[in-house]
Structure 1
Amino acid sequence: MPDPLVTATPSAYDYPLLVKQLLVNALAVSAKQQITYRGETRYSYADLRRRIGQLASMLSSSGVKAGTTVAVMDWDSHRYLESYFAVPMMGATLFTVNVRISPKQIAYTLNDSGAQVLIANAEFLPLLEQIWGSLAHPPLLIVARDDDCSVETASSLPVACDYELRLSMSSSDFVFGDFDERTRAVLFYTTGTTGDPKGVTYSHRQVVLHALATAATLASPREGQRLHREDVYMPITPMFHVLAWGMPYIAVMLGLKIVLPGRYEPHLLLRLKQTEQVTFSHCVPTILQMLLDGARGDSFDLSGWKMMIGGSALSPGLCRAALDRGIDVFAGYGMSETGPIVALSQFPPGAMHAEADKDAGTDESVRRRCMAGRPVPMVDLRVVDGDMCDVPRDGRTQGEVVLRAPFLTLGYHGKPEASEALWAGGYLHSQDVAVMHPDGYVQIVDRIKDVIKTGGEWVSSIEIEALINEVPGVQESAVIGVKDERWGERPMALVVRRPGSAVSVATIRQRLLALAEASRISRYAVPEATRIVFLDEMPKTSVGKLDKKRLREWID
């Protein structure tokens, strides 16, 4: 029987899927394209490649080799973009440190990762001084600054060198060889869960396939909710969080102009949108709200800005507010463990698209934009019951989202039991409750841990939050289940008023009761007056999601 495998002549190049390959076309056709940091530092893609070589030479002279873990603590900068390529291209692992988690958790992740080198913005030196003594094996410390001065000697930390100074003395002629595409490229840690953060890893193959699948999906629509070569890209999801949803790799692969804003400051982001003519970004709903609030009453023109929203549910009210300002807003779906993008809420061709073009403010358009959307290529997305059987595609029957794709993480770093639970039955379990519509659109109903069972009925906290957020004067809300002797659980609403608003408990209850009377929601979904509480500020996770864990601890 003949060998079924494809054979290659000895001189053929068996092209491995490595991160370095994402640069090939960009350098060939977009070498002069611009990358800017805060509108202050500017250089071309050719300069990016030169600095990637210099960074690799600098790291190599510091002992970095294949298998070494290099940690980075920085805001969204050109340095971060350079590390996205240089570190994995050496065969080393890039560890993107979440600088918004607690110092204790940062120390845990540095220890757990085994990082041997740390590139840190000088802004984080005081934080590192707090935890340095708790590091089992303190890494070699390279400090980066936002000016050309060398590092101050005031810090008690053993600083090895200054990033820019050492980079300028390093050769750009580093040779990036080939290796197994299954080599670990990146590592980061999940947030917002119980216990210690869990490390999530991706190989070169997974990073490249995620970039290709997501780019193909974003580029496929004729217009709207899409990405093309003339777009100007600015991330507003931190580069330390799930690789900024993988979008910087896609932007480089396509040769886009890239605007890196550093630390997120509303006025700076809005100014960069205007001065750099940004057309494509992505963020969580709280950041979108912050941008809309920052632009209120000012002359900022937000039209022509395509905005992908993820991390938590995009509410209809926030969606309408963004559309009113000319932002082409749409939801994406994924999690730290899924690459992350596995679905996008883009309009399909045909009647729905025509309706959306005619009036982007229609209820149907808003409803579609707020859904998780439809799976991207190569993603096997199912909504299943407790027996792993697919639920009907009726838009009503609920189940858990389970997934298979070539770019999902294959397990947690050093946590075999948690990894097996994640992949029980051969599918990655999202812990998200959803319904599947007849046309393949997925709508997330809630997290399994956040669904409220009351009076024998299941209540979606996401749905009730969205309805409360539409009450005039409400800025944001969180709905959680609290124990009740009679009903098992009852919903409790925590609400933040808009500045100057006097919205009351009675107003919110009247709105929800009217919806229950109209059979829009169950009467069990309406919180009692004593269970609607106003807060000055809502607790958030390190990436801007509602922190329901802290709210439950506060209630208990």
Structure 2
Amino acid sequence: MIESTQAAYAYPLLIKHLLHTPLAHAPDQEIVYRGDTRLTYRTMSERIARLAHGLGRHGAKMGSAVAVMDWDSHRYLECYFAVPMMGAVLQTVNVRLSPAEIAYTINHAGAQILLVHTDFLPVVEAIRDQLETVCAFIRIDDEGSEAVAHSIPFADDYETMLAASAPVYDFPDFDENTRATTFYTTGTTGLPKGVYFSHRQLVLHTITGMAALASPVSGQRFHRGDVYMPITPMFHVHAWGMPYIATVLGVKQVYPGRYLPDRLVGLVRDEGVTFSHCVGTILHMLLDCPEAKTVDLSKWKVVIGGGALPHGLARAALDRGIDIFAGYGMSETGPLLTLAQLKPGSETLDADEQVRLRCKTGLPLPLVDLRIADEEGADVAHDGKASGEVIVRAPWLTQGYLKNPEASDQLWEGGHLHTQDIANIDGQGYLQIVDRMKDVIKSGGEWVSSLAIESLISLHPGVSEAAVIGISDAKWGERPVALVVLKPDFALTVSEDDIRNHVLAFSTTGQISKYAVPQVVKIVERLEKTSVGKLNKKRLREQFA
């Protein structure tokens, strides 16, 4: 053990310390909301102090839970800091869950204060009598929001509360292992499960994510010259932790409010956005919106997560000049585990090989101990073929599920966090997720990756989106079924047989097994998604069984 001088400061890893650098380097840098509201880091620091004072007047204290229901905004960013810096716990409420699930998560987290945007008043009005722990409601409003009839006894208004508070707050030191945040997974079975993260974990995730994103020679980078805009909801896994990273770097930040395609593309253009992250379905929607047709996207870097990055989408983005690459993580992992960044020398590779690498699940971040284990827990070969479950250790992984010891034990069986993702690792160290355990298809005695088939289908010029699911088959055990959404211009010219023959061509060249060719292809108008935009394969299996 080292010896400490009596007066030495131990410097706990607390979220408040993330503000030191931007206030020293870039106090006048802009933080923009919807293109209308403009703050600086200096102003934000004062608003964080005012928010802490206001929440304190309404009963927030060490260990209190404060829940937030808002669009992506400067206010949400202020809550990311003020609430945990007080020693309270920030609950980021998934506003896309059902009203019953929202009520369950607020009660389960024990939230005592609820900050709610007026757009969500109908939901809160419907569940108000079910909320068991909330003692104070605080209204969030935007200029132009429509008035909604309600009976919620608001204790305060967000901006009024800040205006009545002092711009300086003495945020205390406390144990860095204090819980800072709680949010709920959006699984397709059972009730949502709460995950939680400490100050130490979030600070380490921030530092490591910053280092990983700064490491490439060129491309797939995030640095002080960037302009950041999230297109992953701030209620979902800390918006992948990127608002904390952006704040430490002191970059210009742009928060779009509600996700409207034309507004998002307009903000990229008007505010000079250069770095974003989202699920593939959102980027696909943005590329297809009318506003995007004339906007220069060649300075935009986009990380795709929450599901595989299909080769077709990657090509479409690269054709527009977007520096696109994949990332991987889970609610339970805070979330960042890997990034599909190109290694030095990759610029000499042909376009197809670069696309393949950008669509890989990626290389582990520093401090991430990632293994591929077989059913006995032994490591499999790193040959790009042998598959097993991804199990991980890192200093920022949730240590369990809130108030759910049985599920926590399963998550951490054997001392590694079990992702339930099936993957392989190639000779260069790139991870490739093959499928979720629950989604992998076994046909004719062979394992078939639904993700691989979806990616091949996405290469057809007429395909907008695709999902591959397994259905029971008396002869083969299971068989893959492809559900395909066509681009409008191809709706009358592309048939189900065309899609099947497109995949069959990859089988005849040996790229995939014949068992992977969907015997059934169904053209559909839309695909079911989860609350965070992922394909809801459980629902699709039920729908098309």
TM-score (norm 2): 0.98
Residue 297 of structure 1 deviates from its aligned partner by 7.1
Distance 1:545 1:14, change over 3 A: same
1:37 aligned onto 2:28? no
**1:152-198 deviation digits (Å, cap 9, x = unpaired):** 69421111111101110111222101000000000000003310000
Please say if residues 381 and 401 of structure 1, whose CA atoms lie closer than 8 Å, have aligned partners that are also in contact.
yes
Residue 221 of structure 1 deviates from its aligned partner by 1.5
Distance 1:297 1:238, change over 3 A: closer
Distance 1:54 1:415, change over 3 A: same
1:510 aligned onto 2:498? no
Match of 1:377 among 349, 366, 369: 366
Matches within 5 A, 1:401-416: 401-416=390-405
**1:345-379 deviation digits (Å, cap 9, x = unpaired):** 11111x32x325xx6xx111000000111110100
2:283 — aligned with what?
288
**The residue matched to 2:466 in structure 1 has which SS?**
strand
Matches within 5 A, 1:91-490: 91-147=87-143, 154-294=149-289, 298-349=293-344, 351-352=345-346, 354-355=347-348, 362-490=351-479
Q: Distance in 1 between matches of 2:162 and 2:444?
A: 64
Please say if residues 281 and 305 of structure 1, whose CA atoms lie closer than 8 Å, have aligned partners that are also in contact.
yes
**The residue matched to 2:317 in structure 1 has which SS?**
helix
Match of 1:77 among 58, 65, 73: 73
Q: Distance in 1 between matches of 2:144 and 2:311?
A: 46
Q: Distance in 1 between matches of 2:459 and 2:217?
A: 32
Gaps of 5+ in 1: none
Q: Distance in 1 between matches of 2:214 and 2:116?
A: 35
Q: Distance in 1 between matches of 2:473 and 2:65?
A: 49
**The residue matched to 1:500 in structure 2 has which SS?**
helix
Residue 295 of structure 1 deviates from its aligned partner by 5.1
Residue 286 of structure 1 deviates from its aligned partner by 0.4
Please say if residues 265 and 291 of structure 2, whose CA atoms lie closer than 8 Å, have aligned partners that are also in contact.
no
Residue 519 of structure 1 deviates from its aligned partner by 1.4
Letter in 1 for 2:131: L
Structure 1 runs (4+) deviating above 2 angstroms are 136-139, 151-154, 295-298
Q: Distance in 2 between matches of 1:552 and 1:113?
A: 32
Please say if residues 143 and 159 of structure 1, whose CA atoms lie closer than 8 Å, have aligned partners that are also in contact.
yes
**1:59-95 deviation digits (Å, cap 9, x = unpaired):** 0011100000000000100100000000000000000
Gaps of 5+ in 2: none
Distance 1:442 1:295, change over 3 A: farther
Q: Distance in 1 between matches of 2:4 and 2:354?
A: 50
Match of 2:18 among 16, 22, 42: 22
**The residue matched to 1:116 in structure 2 has which SS?**
strand
Please say if residues 72 and 97 of structure 1, whose CA atoms lie closer than 8 Å, have aligned partners that are also in contact.
yes
Please say if residues 445 and 460 of structure 1, whose CA atoms lie closer than 8 Å, have aligned partners that are also in contact.
yes
Please say if residues 374 and 441 of structure 1, whose CA atoms lie closer than 8 Å, have aligned partners that are also in contact.
yes
**Number of residue pairs aligned between Structure 1 and Structure 2:** 543
**1:463-506 deviation digits (Å, cap 9, x = unpaired):** 11111122221111111111111111111111111113231111
Name which of structure 1's ranges 224-233 and 130-139 shifts more when overlaid on structure 2. Answer: 130-139
**The residue matched to 2:390 in structure 1 has which SS?**
strand
Please say if residues 384 and 390 of structure 1, whose CA atoms lie closer than 8 Å, have aligned partners that are also in contact.
yes
Please say if residues 141 and 159 of structure 1, whose CA atoms lie closer than 8 Å, have aligned partners that are also in contact.
yes
Residue 139 of structure 1 deviates from its aligned partner by 3.8
Give the RMSD, CA atoms, in angstroms. 1.4
Please say if residues 192 and 547 of structure 1, whose CA atoms lie closer than 8 Å, have aligned partners that are also in contact.
no
Please say if residues 267 and 294 of structure 1, whose CA atoms lie closer than 8 Å, have aligned partners that are also in contact.
yes
Residue 339 of structure 1 deviates from its aligned partner by 1.2
**The residue matched to 1:472 in structure 2 has which SS?**
coil
Letter in 1 for 2:232: T
